[in-house]
Chains A and B, each alone.
Chain A
């Protein structure tokens, strides 16, 4: 069964950097784009960007450009999303989702809380 397992909940102070992971299993990791999606509390979904695990190519939403870095480690079948200069409104659940079966499956989500 294809699975995406994300790292656990995080608490960060404003201005710091966060790095969360998404480990893939049971499919050819390098062959499919991995996307990251943000969902702030009580809000809709927000596409942040994608990484191509095969060559590391990335595409970022304009809003996150300059603050986000998405990388892939093919030796570990894992992608990472790093978000810098954290702000209070970065508090959200962050999902990874692989474009294996038309934007399926999704990871379970990682709750990130930005608090002083």
Chain B
């Protein structure tokens, strides 16, 4: 089974910009992996932020954006807020109806 890799932890200053990435052991991440990004705060269920690389849910703040960057999926946060401190999980699709999550990135806003 493929392995999806994320940075274990990142720190961003309030108002700053940070990019989280999501790589695949099978090679470059493409739009065909339909990358998802989920945000999870302590004690809560995850919530989908981004799907299909760069599409946002209605509740996704405008400061989040998704892209493909250097063979990886990327989630960029521009203008970080204290409430953005959370775990971020990416998920990729492999073949039909099989999904794999990355290990998650703990984002600290400090």
Which residues does A use to contact B, with CB under 8 Å? 33, 35, 37, 43-47, 50, 59, 61-63, 95, 101-104, 106-109
Contact = CB atoms under 8 A, between A and B. Distances in A.
Nearest to B102: A44
Place the interface of chain B in its size category: 20 to 34
Contacts of B91: 45, 47, 103
Interface stretch (B25-33, B44-52, B66-74, B75-83): B44-52
A62 B100 CA distance: 11
Interface string B51-73: 11001010000000000000000
A61 B1 contact: yes
B98 A104 contact: no
The B contact surface, by secondary structure, is strand
Contacts of A44: 87, 89, 101-104
Given A47-B91, A102-B52, A103-B51, A35 B101 contact: no
A30 B63 CA distance: 35
Given A102-B57, A104-B57, A95 B38 contact: no
A33 to B, nearest CB: 8
Given A44-B89, A102-B57, A103-B36, A50 B97 contact: yes
Nearest to B98: A59
